[in-house]
Amino acid sequence: MQRIVWGRPTSSNVMKVLWLLGELGLPFERIDVGGSFGKTDTPEYRKMNPTGLVPTLQEDDFTLWESNAILRYLAQSNSSAIKLWPTDFHARANIDRWMDAQQTVFNRPMSQVFWGLVRTPADKRDLIAVAAAIEDTTRAWKMIDANLRRHRYIAGPEFTLCDIPWGVHAHRWFNMDYLGLTRPEMPALRSWYDRLCHRPAYRRAVVATPIA
C-alpha cells in the first residue's frame, strides 16, 4: 500500500499526522503542498480535498482530510495504536472530546497568537489584538493544565491520541518570541511539554521544524 501525506511540514495540522505516523512507525511519503508551495487549488487536489487545505492523507485510492479525523482513522486502522485510542466507550469518548476541543475552543485564539507574532511582518503586527488572543489562548491552556495537574497526560496517566492535537501547539506556545508580551506560567503544562520532547516522533515532526 502506498501512503502519502499531502502538506507542508510547517503546518500544525500536518504535524499532527506526521507525529502519529512516527509514533506508529508507519512508512509514508510526504508531498509539499499548501502555503508557499501552493498546488492546493488544482482540480486534482480539490478532488481529494474540497477544502483546499492541508493535510490530506492518501492510501492508494482512499483519501481523507481533517487532521483529527485522519488521526482517528490511523488509530483505528492500525492495531499498534490501541493504547492511544482504547475501545472502551468512556475512555474513547473522553479522548475524542479533548481532540474536538482543540479545534473548537483553542484553535482560533492560538492561530491569532501565532499569526500575529510569527507570520505577520513586524510593521504590521497588532500587539494589542495579540495580547487579547494570548488571554483567550491561556484560558484554554489552563483547562489542559488543570488536567495535567491530576495526571501525566491530557486524558489520563498514559499518552493518548488527544495529546497530539494539543502537543503540536505546545511547542509553538513555549518557543515563540513574545515581543514583550507575557505568557502566564503553567508548570504542569510545561512538564507535559518537556515529556513530549522526549518522544523521538514528536522531536522529528514538531521540534525539528522551524517555527515559521
Q: How many CB atoms are closer than 10 A to CB 162?
A: 27
Does position 13 bind ligand GSH by CB under 6 A? yes
Does position 11 bind ligand GSH by CB under 6 A? yes
> Shortest approach of ligand GSH to residue 32 CB, angstroms?
10
Of 19, 45, 58, 67, which one interacts with ligand GSH (CB under 6 A)?
A: 67
Nearest-10 Cα torsion for 110, 113, 117, 120? 90
Give how far the C-alpha of residue 201 lies from the chain's centroid of Cα atoms, to the nearest Å: 13
d(CA 120, CA 179): 13
Does position 53 bind ligand GSH by CB under 6 A? yes
Say if residues 105 and 141 touch (Cβ distance below 8 Å).
Answer: no
Tell me the CA distances in angstroms from 2 to 27, 46, 61, 63, one per residue in order: 9, 20, 9, 12
DSSP 104: I
Does position 54 bind ligand GSH by CB under 6 A? yes
Range in contact with ligand GSH (rule: CB under 6 A) among 62-70, 75-83, 90-98, 182-190: 62-70
* Locus of grid cell 504535524: 15
Residue numbers 15-44 binding ligand GSH by CB under 6 A:
34-35, 40
> Shortest approach of ligand GSH to residue 37 CB, angstroms?
8
> Shortest approach of ligand GSH to residue 57 CB, angstroms?
10
Of 59, 66, 96, 136, which one interacts with ligand GSH (CB under 6 A)?
A: 66
Does position 197 bind ligand GSH by CB under 6 A? no
Of 12, 112, 137, 160, which one interacts with ligand GSH (CB under 6 A)?
A: 12
The maximal CA–CA distance of the chain, rounded, in angstroms, is 52
**Cell, residue 45:** 487536489
Does position 110 bind ligand GSH by CB under 6 A? no
DSSP 82: T
Does position 109 bind ligand GSH by CB under 6 A? no
* Locus of grid cell 494539543: 166
> Which positions touch ligand GSH (CB under 6 A)?
11-13, 34-35, 40, 53-54, 66-68
